[in-house]
Structure 1
């Protein structure tokens, strides 16, 4: 059997990757366009940052519930439903006249993303032969990397040039076009799988899983308590303007992609635990250096290279670790819950930042970020302690 990815499969995978790009850009563009959002609706930076929190927390609740309530539906149908909701939410954001409308639109976008994110990778992996699944997943996830590299800096530039309302109108339009692209290029052959709520709860409450989920929760809380205020930080602490924010976001994107490429090779030589510890340690040290070094923009951009590199060591390593510790039966649920905890951390971290930054400024934000990463390290150590007895029991069972 020919296991090569065909041209039609490539087109389908690219369509899924584009959808991931649009979702990631639309979800996180609030961070880069914070000043533009505040100006358009006369909000404080803290109020604007909470819109990122609302999206993240909505996604965290929606992702597992979608799997329980609608997981039996065909995967393409789930993705198209999510894209429709996400796009309509973006249009509603652009047309909102007050803060209540902005909040409601971000809830709709978060619910739509809950249909999209956990399903895209599964759908892409089932389009190809088993031998090509790893490559297919990489092609789908490329959309997220490109969003960091180009999408979010581009969104910040559009918002600064034409305003936040134009930005979100474009997000809505491109979302619906990406849905049409999937409808035309992705075959509707992937059936869903029904997940019982009791099974979801049993995974969530099992110690080895829960502590692993807390690792990603605290990592994203630490990262996004800093990242969500990157634009006000550059404006207030480094006296930088719109071009400085776009440059910082571009640096974060390039360094993040390099980190992702490096960890792909390093995964064959190092355990996921070692890579997680390395990434978190580098993140703590780099955040401390950003706080201590002179407040020159060139120094910040250099420090952000290492910050983004460390961050992108963490995401693939965490996903890999969840796959390693989960059984084949629970792997899909565990990965869906990992996504939920990740966006829950994004929402929680950016919410904490919206309370901390107006009171304590940059240094309070940096201290809070480091505290969250330290909690992630503690969760990782606890997770390993709970995991080792189970590994030993499995080895003894196999020997017997």
Structure 2
């Protein structure tokens, strides 16, 4: 049987990747555009950062609930619904008159993303033969890497040049165009399965799953407690402006894509656990070095290369580990919950950052980031212990 990916399948996978690119850029552009958002609506940086938290926490709740309420519908229909809600939320953000409307628009974007994120990977994997599923998933997830490489730095530059309102009008327009691309190129053949709340609760109650989800929760909390304030950090600690922020985000994107490409090759030689462990140790070490090294912009950019490489080592490895850990029946639920815990971590980490930064500044954020990654390491060790089945029962010993 010819298992090669056909040209029509490539177009469909590319459309899904673009949809992921738009969602990731629109979701995370708040971090790089913090000063522009604060200026447009006369907000503090902490208030602007909470808009990232609100999106993340909304996504964390919406992703599993969408699977429970709408999971039985066709997956393309879910993606298109999510893109529509996400695009409308972006338009509403740009036109918001006050902070309350900004919050509501980010909630709408978070709900839309809850329809998109968990479904894209499953939809992409079902478009191709089983032998090509790993490659198809990689092609879809490339959109997230490209958002880091080009989307988020470009968003920061647009916000700096033309303002945050122009940025989110553009996000809304591109979202709707990406939905049209999906409609025209992705076949409407993938049908989901209805998931019951009791079944989801059953997955969460299993120690091997819960600890695995906590790994991604603490990783994203650690990464985004630092990343969400990258623009204010560069402004306040490194005396950098809009171009410096865009340069830093571009460095993060390039190094992140290199990390993604490397982990794709390394996955054939190393277990997901070893790659996760390597990435977390590198992230802890590099964050500590950023705190200790001289506060020069060139030094920061060099350190961010390793920081981004480490983070992009973690995301694919975590997804792979969840797939390996879960049964076929629970795989869809597990991936949805992984996305929920991931964005819950983004929301929690950026919320903590919005409280810590005004009080403890740069060093407070660095310390908090390291603490969260240490908790992720502990969760990984617990998950590994709970994952391993008991091979043989120990013989009973008589009590003395």
Which TM-score applies when normalising by structure 2?
Answer: 0.96
Q: Distance in 1 between matches of 2:60 and 2:43?
A: 25
Q: Does 1:223 align with 2:209?
A: no
Q: Does 1:203 align with 2:203?
A: yes
Q: Please name the residue that 2:94 is paired with.
A: 94
Q: Please name the residue that 1:138 is paired with.
A: 138
Q: Distance in 2 between matches of 1:321 and 1:8?
A: 29
Q: Distance in 2 between matches of 1:269 and 1:136?
A: 20
Q: Does 1:303 align with 2:298?
A: no
Q: What is the CA-CA distance between 1:321 and the residue it aligns to?
A: 1.5
Aligned residues: 393
Report the secondary structure of 1:274's partner residue: helix
Cα distance change of structure 1 residues 96 and 2 upon mapping to structure 2, 3 Å threshold: same
Report the secondary structure of 2:391's partner residue: helix
Q: Please name the residue that 1:356 is paired with.
A: 356
Q: Distance in 2 between matches of 1:391 and 1:76?
A: 41
Q: Distance in 1 between matches of 2:200 and 2:24?
A: 26
Q: Please name the residue that 1:392 is paired with.
A: 391
Q: Please name the residue that 2:181 is paired with.
A: 181
Taking the TM superposition and a 5 Å limit, the aligned residue runs for 1:305-324 are 305-324=305-324
Q: Please name the residue that 1:52 is paired with.
A: 52
Q: Distance in 1 between matches of 2:330 and 2:391?
A: 20
Q: What is the CA-CA distance between 1:391 and the residue it aligns to?
A: 5.9
Q: Please name the residue that 1:263 is paired with.
A: 263
Q: Please name the residue that 1:398 is paired with.
A: none
Q: Please name the residue that 1:237 is paired with.
A: 237
Greater displacement, 110-119 / 320-329: 320-329
Q: What is the CA-CA distance between 1:59 and the residue it aligns to?
A: 0.4
Q: Distance in 1 between matches of 2:197 and 2:17?
A: 30
Q: Does 1:32 align with 2:32?
A: yes
Q: Distance in 2 between matches of 1:20 and 1:160?
A: 24
Report the secondary structure of 1:286's partner residue: helix
Cα distance change of structure 1 residues 21 and 391 upon mapping to structure 2, 3 Å threshold: farther
Cα distance change of structure 1 residues 2 and 275 upon mapping to structure 2, 3 Å threshold: closer
Report the secondary structure of 1:370's partner residue: helix
Report the secondary structure of 2:72's partner residue: coil
Q: Distance in 2 between matches of 1:131 and 1:205?
A: 32
Q: Distance in 1 between matches of 2:275 and 2:129?
A: 30
Q: Distance in 1 between matches of 2:71 and 2:230?
A: 36
Q: Distance in 1 between matches of 2:83 and 2:339?
A: 17
Q: Please name the residue that 1:293 is paired with.
A: 293
Q: After the TM superposition, list the runs of 4 or more consecutive aligned residues in structure 1 that deviate by more than 4 angstroms.
A: none
Q: Please name the residue that 1:333 is paired with.
A: 333
Q: What is the CA-CA distance between 1:316 and the residue it aligns to?
A: 1.2
Q: Distance in 2 between matches of 1:285 and 1:130?
A: 39
Q: Distance in 2 between matches of 1:249 and 1:145?
A: 12
Q: Please name the residue that 1:373 is paired with.
A: 373
Q: Distance in 2 between matches of 1:139 and 1:201?
A: 31
Q: What is the CA-CA distance between 1:134 and the residue it aligns to?
A: 1.8
CA deviation string 1:233-264 (max 9, x = no partner): 00000000100000000000000111111111
The two structures, once aligned, show a CA RMSD in angstroms of 1.2
Q: Distance in 2 between matches of 1:59 and 1:193?
A: 20
Q: Distance in 2 between matches of 1:392 and 1:324?
A: 19
Q: Distance in 1 between matches of 2:20 and 2:324?
A: 25
Q: Please name the residue that 1:161 is paired with.
A: 161
Q: Please name the residue that 1:249 is paired with.
A: 249
Q: What is the CA-CA distance between 1:382 and the residue it aligns to?
A: 1.2
Q: Distance in 1 between matches of 2:96 and 2:264?
A: 42
CA deviation string 1:199-257 (max 9, x = no partner): 11000111111011111100000000000000000000000010000000000000011
Greater displacement, 190-199 / 91-100: 190-199
Greater displacement, 227-236 / 203-212: 203-212
CA deviation string 1:307-344 (max 9, x = no partner): 00111111111112112222221112111111110000
Q: Which runs of 5+ in 1 are unaligned?
A: 395-400
Q: What is the CA-CA distance between 1:4 and the residue it aligns to?
A: 2.1
